[in-house]
Amino acid sequence: MNRRSPEESEIHNQSKIINHKSCYPLHGIVPIINTPFDVRLKLDFPSLERLLEQSIADGIVGCIVPAVASEVDKLSDSERRQLVERVVAIADGRIQVVAGASSESLQEALELAKHGAKAGADGILCRVPDRLQGDGEAIVSFFTSLSEAGMEMLMIQDLSWGGYGVDLKVILEMFETIPAFRCIKIETIPAGLKSTRVLEATQGRLNVSSGWSLPEMIEALDRGIHGFNTTAINKPFVHIYRLHREGRRAEAVALFDRILPYLAFVHQHIDISIHFLKRYCRRRGLFSTHNVREPILPYDAFHERCSAELIERVVAVEDALVD
**Residue-level pLDDT, tens digit, the chain, 323 residues:** 344 555 545 554 444 445 579 999 999 999 999 999 999 999 999 999 999 999 999 999 999 999 999 999 999 999 999 999 999 999 999 999 999 999 999 999 999 999 999 999 999 999 999 999 999 999 999 999 999 999 999 999 999 988 899 999 999 999 999 999 999 999 998 899 999 999 999 999 999 999 999 999 999 999 999 999 999 999 999 999 999 999 999 999 999 999 999 999 999 999 999 999 999 999 999 999 999 999 999 999 999 999 999 999 999 999 999 97
> What pTM value is reported for the model?
0.94
pLDDT for 15 equals 46
Q: Give the C-alpha separation, 226 to 243, whole Å.
A: 14
Q: Which CATH architecture has domain 22-259?
A: Alpha-Beta Barrel (3.20)
Q: What are the extents of the domains in the chain?
A: 22-259
Sheet holding 62-65, edge to edge: 28-29, 227-228, 207-210, 181-187, 154-159, 123-127, 96-100, 62-65
pLDDT for 323 equals 78
Cβ atoms of 227 and 28 within 8 Å: the answer is yes
Extended strands (E) in the chain: 28-29, 62-65, 96-100, 123-127, 154-159, 181-187, 207-210, 227-228
Where is 168: in which H helix or E strand?
helix 168-177
Q: Residue type for 178, please?
A: I
Query: Residues 180-214, buried b or exposed e (16+ Cβ, 10 A)?
Result: bbbbbbbbbeebbebbbebbebbeebbbbbbbbbb
Q: Which of 131, 134, 189, 178 is nearest to 156 (CA)?
A: 178
pLDDT for 9 equals 52
pLDDT for 17 equals 46
Q: How far is CA 323 from the centre of its chain?
A: 24
Q: Give the C-alpha separation, 15 to 29, whole Å.
A: 28
Cβ atoms of 197 and 158 within 8 Å: the answer is no
pLDDT for 19 equals 54
Q: Which of 30, 53, 13, 33 is nearest to 285 (CA)?
A: 53
Give the distance between the most distant pair of CA atoms in the chain. 67
pLDDT for 2 equals 44
Cβ atoms of 160 and 133 within 8 Å: the answer is yes
Return the number of other C-beta atoms located less than 10 Å from residue 174's C-beta: 22
φ/ψ of 155, rounded to 5, equals: -105, 120
Q: Give the C-alpha separation, 136 to 166, whole Å.
A: 7
Extended strands (E) in 73-222: 96-100, 123-127, 154-159, 181-187, 207-210
pLDDT for 20 equals 77
